[in-house]
């Protein structure tokens, strides 16, 4: 089993520009530190119809009420404000651009959380995984962890609706081929959506799901603690 950079086709070049947008890094940095409630707020704003910050503050009184005394309460409020401001910047882009930004944000926060656990040099983006005698997949994995004897491959989705047979088959194939070579490869979906919604989506899939981890909006921080958990 070995990892390889994906081909730099036209799609990859355009998408690299989206990934490099400083806004992506800012949102990802804030999301990496956020609580599940703050992540729900960020998802709502980035999917929203309106860009009035006071309206969003009113929708999340538990996040934007006067900060409890002490440094933790003040820090939480500051993070909520930071997340709201940058999520509104995403929402204020046109539909097509914000769709691309949102996908890139999920990848970037995944990369950041994984780097906290394994170190940045071991975390890579847009990589293919090659196995002896097996035709390479066309689509690269969004984020990989590349360490001897402890590889990980993640496919990142903004919403549960992005879970489909192609994604599941690709992850399952990689896991199976790795096992054939006596290599350990953790494979998982990172979905910036509710665990319940992912479970509903997965329940209707006929493609393999066993052995494929699921990291949802609620469990995102677990990426910094352990490899993606199996569904």
Partner 1 sequence: MTGPTIHDALTHAIDAYDRLALLAEDVEDEWTYVTDLSAAWRERLEAAGADGDRPAGAAGPAIDRAIDEIDRIVDPHRAIDWLSTFPQVVLVAIGERP
From CA 124, how far away is CA 142, in angstroms rounded?
8
Contact 140, 175 (CB under 8 A): no
Rounded to 10°, the helix 95-118/10-19 angle is 70
Q: How far is the CB of 98 from partner 1 (least distance, A)?
A: 11
- With H, G, I as helix, E, B as strand and everything else as coil, classify residue 84: helix
Q: Does residue 173 touch partner 1 according to CB under 8 A? A: no
Q: Does residue 53 touch partner 1 according to CB under 8 A? A: no
Here the tokens at position 213 are 């981890």
Q: How far is the CB of 208 from partner 1 (least distance, A)?
A: 19
Q: How far is the CB of 77 from partner 1 (least distance, A)?
A: 15
> Residues binding partner 1: what is the number (CB under 8 A)?
32
Q: Does residue 78 touch partner 1 according to CB under 8 A? A: no
From CA 127, how far away is CA 88, in angstroms rounded?
31
From CA 175, how far away is CA 79, in angstroms rounded?
37
Q: Does residue 157 touch partner 1 according to CB under 8 A? A: no
Query: Phi first, then psi: what are they for 151, rounded to 5°?
Result: -80, 155
From CA 29, how far away is CA 44, in angstroms rounded?
18
Q: How far is the CB of 52 from partner 1 (least distance, A)?
A: 10
| Contacting range for partner 1; rule: CB under 8 A; set: 51-59, 75-83, 179-187, 219-227 | 51-59
From CA 148, how far away is CA 185, in angstroms rounded?
10
Question: Closer to partner 1 at the Cβ: 97 or 199?
Answer: 199
Q: Which of 26, 43, 125, 127 binds partner 1 (CB under 8 A)?
A: 43
Residues in touch with partner 1 (CB under 8 A): 36-37, 40-41, 43-44, 47-50, 55, 58-63, 65, 159-161, 193-194, 196-197, 199-201, 203-204, 217-218
């Amino acid at each position: 089993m070995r990892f390889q950079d994906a081909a730099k086709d036209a799609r990859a070049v355009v998408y690299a520009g989206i990934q490099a947008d400083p806004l992506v890094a800012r949102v990802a940095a804030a999301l990496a530190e956020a609580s599940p409630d703050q992540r729900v707020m960020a998802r709502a704003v980035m999917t929203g119809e309106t860009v009035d910050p006071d309206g969003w503050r009113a929708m999340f009184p538990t996040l934007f009420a006067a900060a409890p005394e002490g440094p933790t309460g003040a820090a939480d409020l500051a993070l909520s404000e930071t997340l709201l401001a940058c999520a509104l910047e995403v929402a204020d882009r046109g539909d097509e651009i914000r769709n691309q930004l949102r996908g890139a944000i999920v990848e970037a926060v995944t990369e950041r959380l994984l780097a906290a656990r394994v170190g940045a040099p071991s975390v890579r983006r847009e990589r293919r995984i090659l196995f002896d005698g097996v035709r390479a997949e066309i689509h690269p994995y969004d984020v990989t962890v590349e360490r001897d004897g402890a590889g990980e491959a993640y496919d990142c989705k903004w919403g549960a609706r992005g879970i489909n047979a192609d994604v599941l088959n690709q992850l399952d194939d990689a896991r199976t081929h790795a096992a054939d070579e006596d290599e350990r490869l953790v494979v998982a979906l990172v979905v910036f959506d509710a665990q319940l919604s992912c479970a509903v989506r997965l329940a209707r899939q006929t493609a393999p799901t066993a052995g494929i981890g699921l990291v949802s909006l609620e469990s995102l921080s677990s990426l910094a603690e352990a490899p993606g958990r199996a569904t």
